[in-house]
Structure 1
């Protein structure tokens, strides 16, 4: 699979800025406006609950300094297995710091049947203790494309902005003296 680079799709605002010459080479697209897909990977491997974390780890959303990566590196060095044959989740619970976890189907809202096997949700969280983790961001993988989910603040600010625009464009706004 060498020589295959991930396919990236970026926001239209960023593409417009590049076309107009307004964006610097150093300027990066905000991840909230990034859609990532690796078609080469998808042609060779199925996207399932078992493979979605490996797929996500290839994306620009993945922090290579996270606990998941530390565990992956240790496994590559073939260090002894976790006590009691513990899996990735058990290792992550024993660590403090940034981690990524796949949200299982039982934690997701009910979905139409056509999305059940095509939608995966991943949480980035800060693990403080074995039973305490704060969600930092959520991502979803739909049909092989990875997106960052908007935060509640983003949604509320967007709604307020749209409401203010409607008020500014309202017919009575022309009646001001």
Structure 2
């Protein structure tokens, strides 16, 4: 059942999930037991406590807690406990002595009251945490990825020396020196370099992929009239030769 049923909307419940409450003086003065833990929880300063519940009416009229079974409305009961550290309180709506509708759970750990999150809030929190860390990982990888036509993709890790200012400065100085030498020798600063294995394999793979996607039509060239006559005469000679072979000898 939804913890917001009959009493709390989604916004109020989300605010309660971030709250805690405790009364250190009272917790230290009395020994927490299953018999008095509801008195500790039902303090009016507790933001998780509904002042209009049946427990408050029982306390004001000084009735026995067993009278809760004959009442209808919101009430708080002790669900589980591990004395003296952990106590679990359930808020429920009683319809009859044998029928109740759970609304929310609260747990008390060493005197501090917390609201137990519902399953939807728990899933949302885990998903947000997961997507946040995945986004951080993608951003980190995107900042160090490098691509070069000769070598393809590579990673500029902090220890590799790629992508730093010193590497950029040395590369710029090398390029300037090469350009100056090219001008001095009259070659224009151009560097002739053979293609790498990566480039050749990549180009071959692209050509193969494109030729499979867009096959070129095969056109047969038109034959000249003289060539057509030669082919026809050859076909006639072959037919005559085959007929002579089949004819019986006299």
Which bracket does the TM-score occupy, shorter chain normalised? Answer: 0.5 to 0.7
- Residue in 1 aligned with 2:16? 31
Per the alignment, residue 119 of structure 1 pairs with 86
Q: What is the alpha-carbon root mean square deviation over aligned residues?
A: 2.3
Deviation at 1:116, TM superposition (A): 4.0
Answer yes or no: is 1:94 the counterpart of 2:70: yes
Q: Which runs of 5+ in 2 are unaligned?
A: 1-13, 146-250
Alpha carbons of 1:104 and 1:162: their partners in 2 closer, same or farther (altered >3 Å)? Answer: closer
Ranked by relative contact order (alpha carbons within 8 Å, sequence separation 6 or more), the top structure is 1
Of 89, 93, 109, which aligns to 1:142?
A: 109
| Alpha-carbon shift at residue 69 of structure 1 (Å) | 0.6
Compare the two structures and name the one with the higher helix fraction.
2
| 1:68 corresponds to which of 55, 59, 66 | 55
Separation of aligned partners in 1, 2:17 and 2:49: 13
Aligned length: 127
Structure 1 stretches of at least 4 aligned residues deviating more than 4 Å after TM superposition: 172-175
* TM-score normalised per structure 2: 0.46
| Corresponding position: 1:46 with 2:22 | no
Larger Rg: 2
Which SS does the other structure have where 2:75 is aligned?
strand
TM-score, normalised on structure 1?
Answer: 0.63
CA shift digits 1:40-78 (9 cap, x unpaired): 212321111111100001122111100111111111xxx
Gaps of 5+ in 1: 1-28, 76-80, 82-86, 106-114
Aligned equivalents of 2:103 and 2:69: distance in 1?
16
CA distance in 2: counterparts of 1:116 and 1:41, whole angstroms? 17
> Deviation of residue 98 (structure 1)?
0.6
Task: Quote the offset at 1:171 in angstroms.
Answer: 2.9
| Corresponding residue to 2:122 among 155, 162, 175 | 155
